[in-house]
Amino acid sequence: MAPITEQDVLAALRPIIDPDFGRSIVDLGFIKNLRIDGARVAFDIELTTPACPVKAEFERAARERVGAVPGVAEVAVTMTSNTRGSKGAAAQQPQGEILPGVKNVIAVASGKGGVGKSTVAVNLALALREMGARVGLMDADVYGPSLPLLTGVTGRPQTREKRILPHQGYGLKLMSMGFFVDDSSPVIWRGPMVHGLIRQFLTDVEWGELDYLVVDMPPGTGDAALTLTQQAPLAGAVIVTTANDLSLVDARKGLAMFEKVSVPVLGIVENMSYFVPPDLPDRKYWIFGKGGGARVAKELGVDFLGEVPIDARVVEGGDIGKPILAYAPDSPPAIALREIAEKLVRKLAVLSESTPKIADANIIWKG
């Protein structure tokens, strides 16, 4: 029998198509360190993010296809990742001291308060962490910080060599104005002070190496929100709304703000979409209206990322510092938020830097 060649292995892998790029994982350069030792074949599949939702499917298909090549007795597949920084506003802004180790900064915003933006931001960050990514969460709502309550993490952060060390919670790096003030202390700051604090969170916090930094934006389009869009190297933004007309009007304003500063809008999330009574699982009540988020997304030409249903456990968990993904991981809201996170990852992958060429495959053949 003729010896196995690298062409045999790559030909077997070529039919595996990445659903986001619409191209073969071979042509995308995902195959790394291909090694052939007699009847044993080993290689890495390097994904664009550790949070890739089709990671398991790629691994299974690769084992099956290479295992079917004549002469192959053993297949070793190692799944790796190399998260790429996204283009957009980040590529147009000077990096330097602003988040040098952060590959993707995702803004979670709303045109108004009361739509559950902070809850969505916390759980999206947690969903990305569950997928294996290195994730940070920055609470940029200076006047109404909610991160300490939603995560149960409190206390003033430590410093080291004039750098602020973020708190840790649920595997996330956390920073919030709420860590520096008492719960009963009102934050009465003027615009320049807000600007200075936000810049300090971006430049003086030791975020380290992160695949994603999720920023819980201040509600509305005021000074704090505008400062962030201008200062942070944003890869993209997510708009959170409810289905009622008032929230949708404000969501349009938020989207317009990001467009003016050339930050791509990754999509719209409709929170508190409907309610399913526990004793009537076949019934849905559309308390704030039906389909508003999807309608606005279509009207404005952006993706609709999904609906998050109303569930009392979201409030119960939030009040004791447990996000819904940790408090009730199998609940409908948790499932919906994970699906939204997967869509975000795919959207960012498409926006990422140019993909590597097949020449980077690092093929080693021992015969």
pTM of the model: 0.85
- The CATH code belonging to domain 89-351 is 3.40.50.300
Q: Which two tokens stand for residue 39?
A: 């009847």
Rounded Cα–Cα distance for residues 45 and 79 (Å): 5
Cβ 337 vs Cβ 238: under 8 Å: no
Give the max Cα distance, the chain: 79
Q: How far is CA 352 from CA 83, 162, 232, in A?
A: 9, 33, 17
Cβ 130 vs Cβ 238: under 8 Å: no
pLDDT the model gives residue 187 = 57
Closest to 38 (Cα-Cα) out of 83, 87, 88, 2: 2
Nearby residues of 193 by Cβ (< 8 Å), 6 or more positions away: none
Give the pLDDT of the chain (367 residues) as one tens digit per residue. Answer: 788 999 999 999 999 999 888 899 999 999 999 999 999 999 999 988 887 778 899 999 999 999 999 999 999 999 998 887 774 444 444 445 689 899 999 999 987 778 899 999 999 999 999 998 999 999 988 777 889 999 999 999 999 988 999 999 999 999 998 888 766 655 555 556 667 778 888 999 999 999 999 999 887 666 667 778 878 889 999 999 888 877 788 778 888 888 888 889 999 999 999 999 988 888 899 988 888 889 888 888 899 999 999 999 999 999 999 999 999 999 999 999 999 999 998 888 888 754 343 334 443 434 3
Q: Which segments within 167-319 are labelled E, that is strand?
A: 167-169, 172-176, 212-216, 234-241, 265-275, 304-310
Rounded Cα–Cα distance for residues 333 and 209 (Å): 29
Cβ 28 vs Cβ 356: under 8 Å: yes
Domain locations in the chain as residue ranges: 6-82+354-365, 89-351
Q: Which segments within the chain are labelled E, that is strand?
A: 17-18, 23-24, 31-37, 40-47, 74-81, 105-109, 135-139, 159-160, 163-164, 167-169, 172-176, 212-216, 234-241, 265-275, 304-310, 364-365
Q: At the top level of CATH, which class does the domain 6-82+354-365 belong to?
A: alpha beta
Amino acid type, 113: G
